[in-house]
Structure 1
Amino acid sequence: MKDFIIPAIDIKEGQVVRLFKGDFDKIKRYSRSPEEMAMIYADAGIRRIHVVDLDGSLEGVPVNLESIRNIRRVFNGIVQVGGGIRSLKTVDILFEEGIDYVVIGTLAIKNPEEFTKIVNIYPHRVILSVDSKKGRVAIGGWKEESSLTPQELASMYDKLPIWGYLYTDIERDGTLKGVRVDIYREFKEYTQKPVLASGGVASMEDVKALMCCADGVVVGKAIYEGLIDIFRL
């Protein structure tokens, strides 16, 4: 199970936070620093973590690079980072810091040429972020809605050497309302690449339900609110 659960560390202004359905006006802050959370996950034997630079997702450039650097310093497992990655230069910087994978969404829609270039330069190290809201892919920190469905986005890039996908159900993200397994099952039919699920996890039952159609699950609020004990996996 420790290979399947991927704890999230969402960072805003250097603090660990969780948003409700991606709404920056509905934010909950937690007392531990990003670095402290990474150390807790390391002590629990977690093998992979998901880091999001929320400020970066709005600004279009990394904002919390120092926090990301500190996380990398204390966590020896796999670190994947998303949020504000809109250029090859930013990808270069993150890989120079020792990050294992970058998670990119907006760039794939707004600048396909740059995204393709990055994927070809760094094969199997780019995770395509598919952020779904009401059947359409959201971009720009989830504040804009594209015309693409998740499946249409996947069809554009599945033949490229991306590592796989992070599919987020925005309408469930941060709600603790449980997961909609069917959307991941349907998406999985479009690709042979790994698919990570995200959004709505409230219990270990949700995690187990996703094992039929996902290759991992990103969990945030359920851990922070004590609904899932990472030390008892």
Structure 2
Amino acid sequence: MFEVIPAVDIKGGKCVRLYQGRADKEKVYFENLVEVAKKWESLGAKRIHVVDLDGAFEGIPKNIAIVEEIVKSVSVPIQFGGGVRTIEALDRLFSIGVDRVIVGTVAVENPRLFEEMVDRYPGKIVLGIDAKNGMVTTKGWVEVTEIPAVSLASDYDAMDIWGFVYTDISRDGTLTSPNFEEVEKFASAVNRPVIASGGVSSEEDILKLSKIENVVGAIVGKALYEGKVDLASVLQKVG
């Protein structure tokens, strides 16, 4: 079943969306993060994607107390990403009840540590690959590497990770539609499941992503907050 996963992005204790991952281009949508998570659950979301933007930029989760509140307030699983670069951070997140943790920068900069994380939590780590023009970016989308997204994914595909979240950051928060060609290229290069993220602007975009082989979900942020996508309606169509 294809999952439509609402994104709850935390920055400064509020629910925001960034434009192309830029910290200086934010828009606040909700002051109360628990309230917004409950809203998406009430509309039928089966999973919520929580991102600690402060953590992504600073390299250590900064909003764990808020995340814990969200976990306790909803009954659907929470997948979390943002600044998870140590075993301690990972342990803390799983101890508060997070279902899956997205790790990105570590996989690029410290493969041995990433392997240790996966061994410690088999099937629970998601490799988050944030790409710009097909190349991997790290440290909260700030640094562009010379590593092709597909080749990084191939390196880890055989490990006991859950799968991948593939984000095209040039489309993220822009409402310009996903880069379907890149998503398809990425998804066809790996065996593990892929969740697509970045650029969803309409119900049609989600339906199109749901037809790409090996893409099992889409993370939707700005399109939900701006009223471009009706969550209950699209869930009926992909369910």
TM-score by length of 1: 0.97
**1:97-117 deviation per Cα after TM superposition (whole angstroms, max 9, x unaligned):** 000000000011111111100
Is 1:187 the counterpart of 2:194? The answer is no
Calculate the aligned-residue CA RMSD, in Å: 1.1
Map 1:70-149 to 2 at 5 A: 70-149=69-148
Q: State the AA in 2 paired with 1:125.
A: K
Task: Give the equivalent residue in structure 2 for 1:30.
Answer: 29
Task: Give the equivalent residue in structure 2 for 1:154.
Answer: 153
Q: State the AA in 1 paired with 2:219.
A: V
Paired residues of 2:3 and 2:217 also in contact (CA < 8 A): yes
Task: Give the equivalent residue in structure 2 for 1:174.
Answer: 173
Task: Give the equivalent residue in structure 1 for 2:40.
Answer: 41
The DSSP-based 3-state class of the residue aligned with 1:18 is strand
Q: How many residues align?
A: 232
Gap runs ≥5 in structure 1: none
**1:120-170 deviation per Cα after TM superposition (whole angstroms, max 9, x unaligned):** 111110000010102210000000111211111011111100000000010
Q: Aligned partners of 2:169, 2:34: CA distance in 1, in Å?
A: 26
The alpha carbon displacement at 1:182 in A equals 1.1
The alpha carbon displacement at 1:75 in A equals 1.3
Between the two proteins, what is the percent identity of the paired residues?
43
Map 1:193-232 to 2 at 5 A: 193-213=192-212, 214-232=215-233
Q: Aligned partners of 2:57, 2:206: CA distance in 1, in Å?
A: 29
The alpha carbon displacement at 1:77 in A equals 0.9
Structure 1 residue runs of 4 or more that deviate by more than 4 Å after TM superposition? none
Q: Aligned partners of 1:115, 1:195: CA distance in 2, in Å?
A: 19
The alpha carbon displacement at 1:33 in A equals 1.5
The DSSP-based 3-state class of the residue aligned with 2:146 is coil
